[in-house]
Chains A and B, each alone.
Chain A
């Protein structure tokens, strides 16, 4: 443990001010040029179809001033925080408390999640938010198998989500099959699509793999939009039946669950049911992933990420390993999609854009690849944070983008900075993320 870096001396602070000022000035000048036309001038299609414009020099001045001030603030913050790699000595008492806290997070979070519908029974908004968060947690855990464990860069995960959603929607509206029958079907169809995606990309590395998976995602979306006779095109599919508790519908009628249980019907019942449903699906994803990690296939996925050449030398069939990773991840995406369809009652291609794939990927990377808890926490923060900006739609995506950039600079390896081994002789030592490879696709 090295001694912490000495604080800034009064002497070294003085030239700092000039430096900060100069930096801020340059930033402001750059901002001025960048914003001059885009913010200073506002164009719009006029009433007669031609282009009109007006000036907004006030806004321009305000933005430049913000950049100036912001630059100063960032520099001061940087100086206060100390150079990168400064060791901060944590007192042992705090360290041990942190260690206990760290181990407690997962069980506490789980118990809390189970109790959310109980605690927030009357707050529909919180329950809906919880369902949304859990959906993304499940998507994150599903993509985690592909990207986090196997190291295969998939930028088109939303395709499996869409396949699952549309499978259930079309099967239910056309053939009247129940949710519980369609759920495994949706998973199987999504897994099949995952295998079909996997075959062409077997030999592709890293960024080529990324762009092809992205292309697949876009192809699915475009096909859905354009194959109107099958999917209803941009209008989507509506009237998707809600799920039943193994055949017992959650309706106010006499055959409804409420009537059977002898309690008063409330629309909240369905929300609570949906909440526990997605929770169950997510926990299933989690349980399967944890178990698979300990089985040869899961270990092969991680070995594939670490070093593909060595895997081949050990007799591991890379092709089937990659395909099973894609198929498994896709299957969970399909389950999540089916859930999404039944929760909304209506789906359209707008829900399955590249932004969704990017969001899920961001959740996986931010979570710290391969870490189940990390992915859950990341989903919670990102979706929760997203919701905070609900009122300001345009600014929401802007802030999301900024958040992604900032988070990557601050924590490129994600929140959870280590990997837990799947088998050990004596004790399980967490392996630091620095050693864990990212995978070459």
Chain B
């Protein structure tokens, strides 16, 4: 079980014209573990995400996803919706992208689109109201209900997603991603804008997702309390390159990482650390 990577990113590079956003990045995320991708703003973290989730086509490099059943999928060859549909990679967004004009429940139903399309016989069985469709729809609603309960929004299931408070919206987005039953869940700054209590709730939610659903999690985060508390493995980026990698403890004490965040150089950081502790 340990040492088994679900995602192996190998020499990933992304250029935009003259700007190299990601430069020769190699790391892997272990199955059923939480991997955090951290780094100062502009380090290229979201770009990496966009490559993994098919929104950008990487300039070079490979990303291999290994499913439980042994199937290996090269993510750089898929694009767009297929990454979610075939590779079972789900994601959330830095600026929440819910469907604001639809209710919380409807949001979770949209997430189950592909399964429901199959069950509705490409709509035709659904049009005639076939029993197989009806039971599939009921199952989908049950799954949605389960998640709404998990994130504590069962009472607001019929409210418009756009009307929900910010913290609830964040959790709803995660629940929606989980309704696609992914193998790898990619979260882009899930704790952004949350207060301490909400962050703690988020950590709890992510830990339970890892434990109960067998999903692997890859997250970008700035909130160090969340990162330190839940990550099994941390990858640090700065200016598009990986500068450190290891357990949260290793990273916390790494002078290179501190230097990157402080905007100072490594020697200064070491000096500060030695004088401080």
Distance between Cα atoms of A217 and B38 in the complex (Å): 51
Does A313 belong to the interface (CB within 8 Å)? yes
Complex CA gap A305/B110 in Å reads: 13
Return chain B residues, CB-CB under 8 Å to A427.
Answer: 158
Instruction: Name the residue in A299, A305, A429, A432 with the highest tally of chain B Cβ atoms < 10 Å from its Cβ.
Output: A299
Contacts of B123 in A (CB 8 A): 292, 295-297
A314-B157 Cα distance, complex, nearest whole Å: 19
A318 touches B80 (CB 8 A): yes
Decide if A37 is an interface residue (CB 8 Å cutoff): no
Contact mask B41-63 → A, CB, 8 Å, 1/0?
00000000000011100000000
| B101 and A435 form a contact (CB under 8 A) | yes
User: For the complex, what is the distance from the CA of A74 to the CA of B245, rounded to whole Å?
Assistant: 69
Complex Cα distance, B145 from A291, in Å, reads 22
Residues from chain A with a CB closer than 8 A to the CB of B162 are 431, 435
Query: Given the complex, which residues of B lie within 8 Å of A426, measured CB to CB?
Result: 157-158
B101 partner, pick from A309, A311, A425, A436, beta carbons under 8 A: A436
- Is the beta-carbon distance between A307 and B99 smaller than 8 angstroms? yes
Contact A424 B158 (CB under 8 A): yes
Q: Are B81 and A423 within 8 A (Cβ)?
A: no
Nearest chain A CB to B32 CB, angstrom units: 22
Interface size in chain A (residues, C-beta < 8 A) = 38
A-binding segment of B4-12, B111-119, B248-256: B111-119
A303–B99 touching, CB < 8 Å: yes
Q: What's the Cα separation between A317 and B158 when bound, in Å?
A: 26
- Whether A423 pairs with B113 at a CB distance below 8 angstroms is no
B231 at the A interface (CB under 8 A): no
Roughly how many angstroms separate A312 CA and B50 CA in the complex, as a whole number? 12
CB neighbours of A312 from chain B (8 A): 54-55, 80-81, 84
Q: Which of A217-238 contact B (CB under 8 A)?
A: none
Asked whether, in the complex, the Cβ of B84 is within 8 Å of the Cβ of A314, the reply is: yes
Closest residue of A by beta carbon distance from B161: A435
Q: How far is the CA of A208 from the CA of B267 in the complex (A)?
A: 54
| Contact A314 to B100, CB < 8 A, known contacts A299-B113, A423-B109, A425-B157 | no
- Given the known interface contacts A291-B127, A296-B117, the answer about A314 and B101 at a Cβ–Cβ threshold of 8 Å is no
Chain B residue contacts of A318, Cβ below 8 A:
80-81
In the complex, whether A300 has a CB less than 8 A from a CB of chain B is yes
Is A315 in contact with B160, judged by CB distance below 8 angstroms?
Answer: no
Q: Give Cα distance in the complex from A68 to B77, angstroms.
A: 67
**In the bound complex, how far is the Cα of B91 from the Cα of A300, in angstroms?**
18
Contact A307 B98 (CB under 8 A): yes
B interface size (C-beta, 8 A): 45
Q: Smallest CB–CB gap between B42 and chain A, Å?
A: 21
Interface string of A239-275 (1 = CB under 8 A from B): 0000000000000000000000000000000000000
Interface presence of A316 (CB below 8 A): yes
Work out how many contacts link A and B, with CB atoms closer than 8 A.
133
The answer to whether B76 has its CB under 8 Å from any CB of chain A is: no
**A313→B84 contact, CB < 8 A:** yes
Report the minimal beta-carbon distance from A330 to chain B, rounded to whole angstroms.
16
Asked whether A406 is an interface residue with its Cβ less than 8 Å from the other chain, the reply is no
B103 within 8 A of A: yes
Query: Do B159 and A296 touch (CB < 8 A)?
Result: no
- Tell me if B120 counts as interface (CB < 8 A to partner A): yes
Using Cβ atoms and an 8 Å threshold, which residues of chain A touch B141? 423, 425
B103: chain A residues within 8 A (beta carbon): 421, 423-424, 429, 431
Point out the residues of chain A lying under 8 angstroms from B154, CB to CB: 425
Residues of A within 8 A of B120 (CB): 295-297
Do residues A424 and B105 form an inter-chain contact, with CB atoms below 8 A? yes
Q: Give the residues from 70 to 117 in chain B that come closer than 8 angstroms, CB to CB, to chain A.
A: 80-85, 90-91, 93, 97-103, 105-106, 109-114, 116-117
Chain B CB within 8 A of A306 CB: yes
Q: Which residues of A contact B82 (CB under 8 A)?
A: 315
- For A292, list chain B residues within 8 Å (CB): 123, 127
Asked if A299 contacts B126 (CB within 8 A), the reply is no
In the complex, the answer to whether B100 meets A425 with C-beta atoms within 8 Å is no
Beyond A302-B101, A306-B102, A309-B97, whether A316 also contacts B158 by CB under 8 A is: no
Contact residue among A295, A313, A424 (Cβ-Cβ distance under 8 Å from B157): A424
Does B135 sit at the interface, judged by CB under 8 A?
Answer: no
- Report yes or no: A315 in contact with B84, Cβ–Cβ below 8 A: yes
- Assess A296 versus B113: contact at CB under 8 Å? Given A423-B105, A427-B158: yes
- Does chain B have a CB within 8 A of A428? yes
Residues of B within 8 A of A288 (CB): 127
Closest to A318 in B: B81
Within 8 A of B (CB), among A111-149: none
Known pairs A299-B106, A313-B91, A315-B84; A428 contacts B97 (CB<8 A): no
**Chain B hits for A307, CB < 8 A:** 97-99
Residues of A306-354 at the interface with B, using a CB-CB cut-off of 8 Å, are 306-307, 309-318
Closest Cβ of chain A: how far from B168's Cβ, in Å? 15
Known interface pairs A421-B103, A428-B158, A435-B163; A313-B93 also in contact (CB < 8 Å) = yes
Report the minimal beta-carbon distance from B30 to chain A, rounded to whole angstroms.
Answer: 23
Q: Mark A416-441, 1 if CB is under 8 A from B, else 0.
A: 00010111111111011001110000
Q: A299-B102, A299-B106, A425-B145 are in contact. List 14 more A-B contacts (CB 8 A).
A: A291-B127, A295-B120, A300-B113, A303-B99, A310-B99, A312-B81, A313-B177, A316-B110, A318-B81, A423-B106, A424-B105, A426-B158, A429-B103, A435-B100
State the 6 A-B residue pairs at the shortest beta-carbon distance, nearest first.
A436-B101, A315-B84, A315-B85, A306-B99, A435-B162, A310-B97
7 contacts between A and B (CB under 8 A): A288-B127, A296-B123, A296-B126, A303-B110, A310-B93, A314-B180, A315-B85
